[in-house]
Amino acid sequence: MIVKVCGVRSAAIAEVAVQSGADWIGLVLEPRSVRFADDDAACAVVNAVHGRAGVVGVFVSPTPEQTNSAVDRYHLAAVQVHGECDPGFAEASSVPVIRGLNIRGVADVLADAWWPDCLLLLDSAPDPDGLPGGTGKRLDPGLAAQIAAHRQIILAGGLGPNDVADVIARVHPHGVDASSALEVAPGEKDSALVAAFVQAARAAA
């Protein structure tokens, strides 16, 4: 099972995540996000990871040119795309694409036009004025389990050290993703929470 720590902006937190057993480290490359990693931060994270885990770039409504440029710059293993994006984007990407969806029900997944074999990252529905992507709100496990029975999903949405094992047991996702629940302030990860989340997810898997 894939364990992803997202919104990483420092070499120290990247090191804790990797040493704890994280498979993927998420770099938020959307400047409007409080978890945005600028070029200096992104390079520091990539250098700290040093190929020991996959680095995933997180974008909102990007063009293939934008993501492919970031792939080259930061040696990304995959890109995670939220917001408006044509399904043809996957063909134009130089690395695998993870389709991020904020959902209210199964119909939101069925209505999405993306390829059926594209890995999905599921999160709860955002606030009306919020960015697509991480909400910090837990997605209903029953709904997630319905979708996970038919599609490979990475489950996000407020997951942390205390609930990830229960959610894994109920949903059986392909992977789990955490960000805001591992923070002591918006965008500021806590090393103990990061380690505890990764270790709990690994143990549950």
pLDDT tens sequence across 139-176: 889 989 988 988 899 999 889 999 999 999 999 999 99
- The enclosing domain of 149 has a CATH number of 3.20.20.70
Under the banding of pLDDT at 50, 70 and 90, the label for residue 22 is: very high
Closest CA to 93 of 68, 123, 118: 68
Residue 30 tokens, joined: 């959307």
Q: Are 165 and 200 in contact (CB under 8 A)?
A: yes
Please tell me whether residue 21 adopts helix, strand or coil conformation: coil
Under the banding of pLDDT at 50, 70 and 90, the label for residue 197 is: very high
> Quick check: 178 pLDDT over 90?
yes
Which domain covers residue 168, as residue numbers? 2-204
Phi/psi of residue 154, nearest 5 degrees: -100, 125
Closest CA to 80 of 169, 2, 13, 189: 2
How many structural domains comprise the chain?
1
